[in-house]
Chains A and B, each alone.
Chain A
């Protein structure tokens, strides 16, 4: 068990592989975020311009938090 943990912890990846891993995990995350944000737009109703854009993009990035609590981003 401990040996497996050590093996996992000393696993080496190239920078390219880290970038690739980021894309593999990041793309589905952002797609879910975009879908979630586009279907939960009540809080955007009173906003305009930069506030609206930042709030929308912010909800795409932070959708897991917004599932549980209604964080105010303004």
Chain B
């Protein structure tokens, strides 16, 4: 296996919006503008392209969390996880961890599974958390401009709760942003998408789980955004193509979106995440199911 470099494992962007706050401190919570969810499907693909995660999801017997059986519920709980991990309190995280653990307990491979997996595997969870971090870093820089090395370090350090909200420990995260790159490049060597997983992922991108009236207008855009947010190694494994023309359109689209985004008040950009977090708290108080 050839060694992968950042050119293979991360999306490259030639034209980014300028930074408006050159030297200010940053945290990952600023990456929660709703446009970031444009990269959501791409992130699911990245996570599931590690076979142990892919089969863990595809073979899961936890029907209440099944994307194709309860798509809106799955969307809610997924975005609530992000809201809890990033803007939640330690108390919120403990409650959500307990709920997710309850579902994860049923996710382990059987003798018939093509790969052996367990949802409590900390290394697999680290991979998923790393995917989430990569997605947030990509979208954040498309919306707010490139970070300085120092800002990138702050942003990275503040994102660790993406993993530590579940079983990932702090010492599993590579200590610096530069070391994360080498972790990520090595981890991407394990990316394999077989026919089963590819079928599942294409069903997702084709929005097979939602009403055709909603599906048809959004499908071409979602496909474009999803392939745009995938690094070359994932595009190749998935078998999708990307061109320089599409890349140019993708970059122009985000230059425009970034411009519009500057004029949206914070409560418009991020209000959704705060509402989802409020819903988690309401459910926790009422002792209702969180996931």
Taking Cβ atoms with an 8 Å cutoff, the residues of A that contact B are 11, 13-14, 16-21, 23-24
Contact = CB atoms under 8 A, between A and B. Distances in A.
Q: Chain A's interface: helix, strand, loop or mixed, by majority? A: helix
Interface of B: 262-268
A21 B264 CA distance: 7
A13 B267 CA distance: 10
A30 to B, nearest CB: 17
A74 to B, nearest CB: 38
23 contacts: A11-B266, A11-B267, A13-B265, A13-B266, A14-B262, A16-B262, A16-B263, A17-B262, A17-B263, A17-B264, A17-B265, A17-B266, A18-B265, A19-B263, A20-B262, A20-B263, A20-B264, A20-B265, A20-B268, A21-B265, A23-B263, A24-B264, A24-B268
B268 to A, nearest CB: 7
Contacts of B264: 17, 20, 24
A23 to B, nearest CB: 7
Contacts of A19: 263
Nearest to A24: B268
Contacts of B262: 14, 16-17, 20
A4 B267 CA distance: 15
Contacts of A18: 265
Contacts of A14: 262
Which of B262, B264, B265, B268 has the most C-beta atoms of chain A within 10 angstroms of its own C-beta? B265
A13 B264 CA distance: 10
A59 to B, nearest CB: 28
Contacts of A11: 266-267
A17 to B, nearest CB: 4
A17 B265 CA distance: 5
B134 to A, nearest CB: 28
Contacts of A20: 262-265, 268
Nearest to B21: A14
A41 to B, nearest CB: 35
A19 B265 CA distance: 9
Contacts of B267: 11
Contacts of B268: 20, 24
A13 B270 CA distance: 13
A23 B267 CA distance: 15
For the complex of A and B, 10 pairs with smallest distance between CB atoms: A20-B263, A17-B265, A16-B262, A16-B263, A21-B265, A20-B264, A13-B265, A19-B263, A20-B265, A17-B263
